[in-house]
Chains A and B, each alone.
Chain A
Amino acid sequence: MSINDVLSSSYVKWMDSPEGNRDIVISSRVRLARNLSQIPFPHLLNQVNGEQCLELIKNAWHNTPGPVLASMDMVTFDQLSALERQILAEKHLSSPGHAESSSSLKGILVNNDGSLAVMINEEDHLRMQCLLPGLQLKECYSRVQELDDEFEQNLDYAFDENRGYLTACPTNVGTGMRASVMIHLPAIHISGQLNHILHNIDQLGLAVRGLYGEGSEPAGNFFQISNQITLGQTEEDICNYLQTVTEQVVQQEILLREKLQRDMKYQLEDKIGRAYGILSNARVIASDEALTLFSDVRLGVDMQILKGISLFSLNELMVAVRPAHLQKLEGREMDVVERDIKRAAVIKEKLTVV
């Protein structure tokens, strides 16, 4: 699978139905920030040292004999259209800010199923991530660590024995690691406990954000929980802590789902049925409305109120209805109204009960 396959399909690895807490934790991610020694951080790069930086990364990718780097494809952003870059961001393989740039100094490395990706010259020279379905933080860390080890064979990392891996922003220094889970919490929301839970997560030193990370608004009861502290803890400790907190939040969500089932059976089934009704019959639908209704339908599927819809198709839909994916599918640029019409058509097609 080359970069073109990643761009033309709506599939990436994290959409697969995983084992374990699959219905509540949608995906797990571990991201490592790495920089090259001496070379100015990306925000200070000019054409000359920027090319030097890119050359070093390219050489490391080419010349390292490891299986992980060999499985990855590389492209710089001057070779992609704005739409294609936005597709990468919608799939969570690049950040929205990174994908905005058409610079030849920025780019991405990605493997065949999109489980591994490296952003080149985002805030740091390298930001490598492993993104897997369900709650699999340890597996994510172990896979991204293999990638890190291979890169390191041919790159001089900026590392200090006291400060650890040096990053452009001091909030990432140390392990350079950000572990996160994407989690779906409709019952907590319906029960009016959302603010309470979010506040508690915050108190535990973890950050809660929307679907697309930093700066994005939570929508459709989908949240990203991540560690904030990167210095003074080991990578394993960070993963374990996030795992423990996530499991507790999941437990809470399960209890509240059971309570809803007991106390508000008809209202719950009504809400889910209406959501499915709108999604499968709408002719024009905006992105936010779709995401909110996906949340209800997903809850219905998880609780076996709605049958015959796979979680995979719901995961895929969440990405397939994003603006860049719709335009790629249509093969042309579309304005908001045209996209809302196309979105409704795509949902109708993919959400039919089999």
Chain B
Amino acid sequence: MLCDECKEQPATVHLIQVFNGHKTESHLCEGCASQKSGLILDQGSKLSIPNLLGGMFGSIYNVQDMPSLTRSIKCPNCGMSFIDIKQAGKLGCSECYKVYEQELEASLRRIHGNSQHLGKIPVRGGEKVRIKKQIEDLKDRLQEAVLQEEYEQAAQIRDTLKEMERKLS
């Protein structure tokens, strides 16, 4: 089989990528594979642990799909950019999980086959999670009430909302 890209060299690399549930298969020669996907071939020095771990955050193949790379944003809490995270193979702080939520979605699915936590919820942190969820619900209901011009009900919801927000702080 010849390489899908150059159609000259024999295809020695069979690349299967699953992105957002969509599977693409390509058969490439070593040269094209390293150019196209950033795959590391014959470069022992690049096979360091951080590099391998960094690979978990998606290949360079999908750069255009990752808004944080093109927008060059940084985590406001710890200052890590997504490139820093890829290089370190680690996130910088708890806030990185929110900032890079979209990029991580695919990586988490790749690592765990899943991206939704089902296990233990901390009592204290969990309380906050529950209140936050209620606040989100109330905000939706408030908007709806305003649209329906049910101002009395909206005022009630607003009061409950304030109460919940006070609880959260």
A residues at B contact (CB < 8 Å): 35-41, 43-44, 123, 145, 148-149, 152-153, 156-166, 168-171, 173-175, 177, 229-235
- The chain A residue with its CB closest to the CB of B53 is A169
In the complex, which residues of chain A have a beta carbon less than 8 angstroms from the beta carbon of B77? 38, 40
In the complex, which residues of chain B have a beta carbon less than 8 angstroms from the beta carbon of A177? 119
Q: Would you give the shortest CB distance from B17 to chain A, in whole angstroms?
A: 18
Tell whether A166 pairs with B90 under 8 Å between CB atoms, given A174-B119, A232-B116, A234-B119: no
In the complex, which residues of chain A have a beta carbon less than 8 angstroms from the beta carbon of B107? 170
Flag if A159 contacts B112 (CB, 8 Å). Answer: no
Flag if A152 contacts B112 (CB, 8 Å). Answer: no
Cα(A223)–Cα(B114), bound, Å = 28
15 residue pairs bridging A and B, Cβ less than 8 Å apart: A37-B125, A41-B91, A44-B78, A149-B123, A156-B124, A159-B121, A163-B117, A169-B53, A169-B91, A175-B119, A229-B111, A229-B112, A231-B112, A231-B114, A231-B115
Flag if A157 contacts B122 (CB, 8 Å). Answer: yes
Interface contact tally, CB-CB below 8 A: 129
Does chain A have a CB within 8 A of B89? yes
Flag if A231 contacts B108 (CB, 8 Å). Answer: yes
- Tell me how many residues of B have a C-beta within 8 Å of chain A: 38
Does chain A have a CB within 8 A of B120? yes
Flag if B93 contacts A152 (CB, 8 Å). Answer: no
Question: Which of A39, A123, A156, A161 is the most central at the interface, judged by chain B CB atoms within 10 Å of its CB?
Answer: A161
Tell me which of B56, B88, B94, B129 contacts A161 (CB under 8 A): B129
Question: Which of B111, B112, B116, B120 is the most central at the interface, judged by chain A CB atoms within 10 Å of its CB?
Answer: B120
Cα(A164)–Cα(B91), bound, Å = 15
Flag if A169 contacts B90 (CB, 8 Å). Answer: yes
In chain B, positions 46-91 with a C-beta closer than 8 Å to chain A are: 53, 56-57, 77-78, 80, 88-91
Tell whether A232 pairs with B93 under 8 Å between CB atoms, given A152-B124, A162-B117: no
Cα(A149)–Cα(B121), bound, Å = 10
Q: Give the interface SS of chain A, mostly helix, strand, loop or mixed.
A: loop
Does chain A have a CB within 8 A of B133? yes
Cα(A44)–Cα(B57), bound, Å = 19
B residues at A contact (CB < 8 Å): 53, 56-57, 77-78, 80, 88-95, 97-98, 104, 107-108, 111-126, 129, 132-133
Cα(A153)–Cα(B124), bound, Å = 7
Flag if B92 contacts A41 (CB, 8 Å). Answer: yes
In the complex, which residues of chain A have a beta carbon less than 8 angstroms from the beta carbon of B57? 170
Flag if B90 contacts A123 (CB, 8 Å). Answer: yes
Flag if A164 contacts B119 (CB, 8 Å). Answer: yes
Cα(A166)–Cα(B78), bound, Å = 15
In the complex, which residues of chain B have a beta carbon less than 8 angstroms from the beta carbon of A153? 123-124
Tell whether A235 pairs with B119 under 8 Å between CB atoms, given A157-B125, A170-B111: yes
Cα(A153)–Cα(B126), bound, Å = 12
Flag if A164 contacts B117 (CB, 8 Å). Answer: yes
Cα(A309)–Cα(B56), bound, Å = 48
Flag if B133 contacts A161 (CB, 8 Å). Answer: yes
Flag if A159 contacts B129 (CB, 8 Å). Answer: yes
Flag if A38 contacts B95 (CB, 8 Å). Answer: yes
Q: Would you give the shortest CB distance from B115 to chain A, in whole angstroms?
A: 7
Closest 5 CB pairs of A and B: A232-B114, A164-B117, A158-B94, A231-B112, A175-B119
In the complex, which residues of chain B have a beta carbon less than 8 angstroms from the beta carbon of A231? 108, 111-112, 114-117
Flag if A162 contacts B89 (CB, 8 Å). Answer: no
In the complex, which residues of chain A have a beta carbon less than 8 angstroms from the beta carbon of B88? 43
